[in-house]
Structure 1
Amino acid sequence: MKLSAVSLGILLLVFGNLSASLSDVAVKLLNGEVHPFQYMFLRQILSLVIILPLWLSQAKPKRAVGSWKINTIRAYLVLAGSSMLLVALTYLPLATANALFYAAPLLMIPLSMLLLGENPSKSKVIATAVGFIGILIVLRPTQFHWAAIAALGTATTLALYNVLVRKLPESQSVATTLFWTCVLSLPVATPLAWYFWQPISMENLGLIAASALFTLGYQGCVVMAYRQSETHQIGLAEYSGLIFVAIFGWVWFNESLDALTLFGILLIILPMMPKPRRKHLTPMNP
């Protein structure tokens, strides 16, 4: 059965967020041993190495940058978000940091209205509000840390990064989009990394490479997903990653989930359920 554009977009975002969650695990395993600017530079270089063969395999017209302005803005958003993400994941539990990262879909609703002229339905706004309540429950004041500010900064850059996908030419391929994002970030990332450079182990280099690979997977899925459907129709699927990080945090870092955290995650996930499924779960009237 052929999937609708919305269903395909949601599926792509779920796979993308699984990839992003694995990237977060790799970053957390760095344990703060790599400077944020150094991490930012190395990840972009490694991403460029991975994506270059795909970019070169295309016909020359397909390699064009498309929109210098939008691609440059998105490149700088990646740099800012990457450095703040490293700080947040170093000092916060995996699930707590990601609960704040997933404020991004909340921010995408007003941003899509402002930048794209989209008009989300009342049900989408209500579902987003329910998800926000879930995020607050997962976070809780007792778990608040100054690094939460960095996590919120990451969420803001991620929301803008995703919304601006729809400003890119429709004919521009995923490989070309990711290639130019990497290239256009290097003029800023290179001098910052050079100034703060410090020795790095092969283990940490491998973790950065894994982060780069999984991040490319996320970015590729995002580009394809937000070209399938409007932001407000599928943006809630971004919350699926919170399920993955909760599991990974428990498996890799022994981060336990209490009943209140699970309830918060449930509030985040429920609004993503397709309408037919929600109707099926509703008891029928006698």
Structure 2
Amino acid sequence: MPNLNRDTNTAIFMMCTGVACLSINDAIAKILMEHYSPFQILFIRTVLAFPFALFLALYSGGTSALRSYKPAVHVVRSLLWIAATIMFFTSVKYLDLAKATALIFVAPLFIAIISSVFLKEPVSRAKWLAILAGFVGMLIIVRPGLIAFNAVTALPIATAVVYALLMLGARQIDPRESVWTQMLYLTGISGILSGLLVPFVWTAIRLEDLWLFAGITAFGITGMALMTQAFRLGSAVVIAPLDYTGLLWATLLGWLFWTEMPDTTTLIGAIVIVASGTYIIKNARNTA
């Protein structure tokens, strides 16, 4: 039992730290979006991250980690990853960081819906009510009809849909492949595919921005590695809801760097989304 508790505490620490790193990653992306295309940011980040992903894969599984049993699955997931990243980076350019982050947290709702409708997984009445509550929270933030609708507001929601497909697509990965192999292929293929478009949107990199590109790579890799390890050490029911601590970091970073403060309506909507998502995650194993 002591070992179990120690692993759980370590997993909680890793998850919270990983979420903080990815929140900083998003804040750096918001800064870089003032001067660069999201395709260029994604391409540079993946190119810089690939050597580290390769090292982690080789370190954890040796040369066998370089083999994929279903490469087509990785290509499709990379396309989804690129789409999600581009849309979210674009959204944080125009929206407050906290608002964009709150809206992307509807992803668990879409995962539950897609699982029920297309994968025929049973969803209880209580979960459907939680899904409905989550969408109400989303509408509270977007406030359609009360304010002029901004198409950019739809980007984090679209990101959540694509992210849900990305997560569900992980079920198609061959079980013989480690999580580090998955990260390696996701990074490598994303770099190649985004590189095809980069020549059309390339902007000369300013010297003062080099540290930002290094930072977005370092925080992105560290965040993903810590969160991945957290799920390996701890129960998903305990660890997954900690992803919502990203909203606290997004609010803090938005306030520090852009004096952004979410209004009361946005905060209420975010609380509703977090509550509904947490319920769905914690009851993921219940099908009745």
Q: Which residue of 2 aligns with 1:182?
A: 187
What is the rounded CA distance, in whole Å, between the counterparts of 2:91 and 2:73 in structure 1?
26
**In the TM superposition, what whole-angstrom CA distance separates every residue of 1:243-280 from its partner, at most 9, and x where no partner exists?**
331222222221123332322222223345679x9xxx
Distance in 2, matches of 1:15 and 1:64, equals 30
- Give the Å deviation of 1:70: 1.5
Q: Which residue of 2 aligns with 1:124?
A: 127
Q: CA deviation at 1:155?
A: 1.8
Residue in 2 that maps onto 1:242: 247
Aligned to 1:280: none
CA deviations over 1:73-108 (Å, ceiling 9, x no partner): 111112112222221111111112122222222211
2-structure distance, mates of 1:274, 1:109: 12
TM-score, with normalisation over the residues of structure 2?
0.79
1:259 correspondence with 2:261: no
Pairing 1:20-99 to 2, within 5 Å after superposition:
20-57=22-59, 58-99=61-102
Deviations 1:44-75 (A, max 9, x none): 11121222221222322233123212111111
Per-residue CA distance 1:140-159 (angstroms, 9 max, x = gap) = 34374222233233222211
Please tell me the residue identity of whatever aligns with 1:180: Y
| Cα displacement (A) at 1:206 | 2.6
User: Structure 1 residues 82, 264: closer, same or farther in 2, change over 3 A?
Assistant: same
How many angstroms apart in 1 are the aligned matches of 2:199 and 2:85? 17
Q: Which runs of 5+ in 2 are unaligned?
A: 283-288
Assess if the C-alpha contact under 8 Å between 1:74 and 1:181 holds in 2.
Answer: yes
RMSD: 3.5
Query: Equivalent residue for 1:199?
Result: 204
Q: Whole-Å Cα distance in 2 between the matches of residues 122 and 60 of structure 1?
A: 47
Pair 1:164-2:174 in alignment: no
Distance in 2 (alpha carbons) for counterparts of 1:109 and 1:18: 25
* % same residue: 27
Q: Secondary structure at the match of 1:59?
A: helix
Contact persistence 1:55–1:63 (CA under 8 A): yes
Give 1:137-152 correspondences, 5 Å limit: 137-141=140-144, 142=147, 144-152=149-157
What are structure 1's unaligned runs of at least 5 residues?
278-286
Q: Which residue of 2 aligns with 1:103?
A: 106
* TM superposition score normalised by structure 1: 0.79
Code of the residue aligned with 1:46 in structure 2: it is L
Take 2:22 and 2:162, find their aligned partners in 1: how far apart are those partners? 15
Q: Structure 2: how far apart are the matches of 1:218 and 1:66?
A: 27
Deviation at 1:233, TM superposition (A): 9.9
- Which shows bigger deviation, 67-76 or 239-248? 239-248
The amino acid across from 1:43 in the alignment is R
- 1:139–1:238 CA distance, 2 compared to 1 (3 A): farther
8 Å CA contact 1:166, 1:226 repeated in 2? no
Pair 228,33 (structure 1): closer, same or farther in 2 beyond 3 Å: same
Following the alignment from structure 1 to structure 2, what is the Cα–Cα distance between the partners of residues 55 and 99?
32
3-state DSSP of counterpart to 2:197: helix
CA distance in 2, matches of 1:31, 1:130: 33
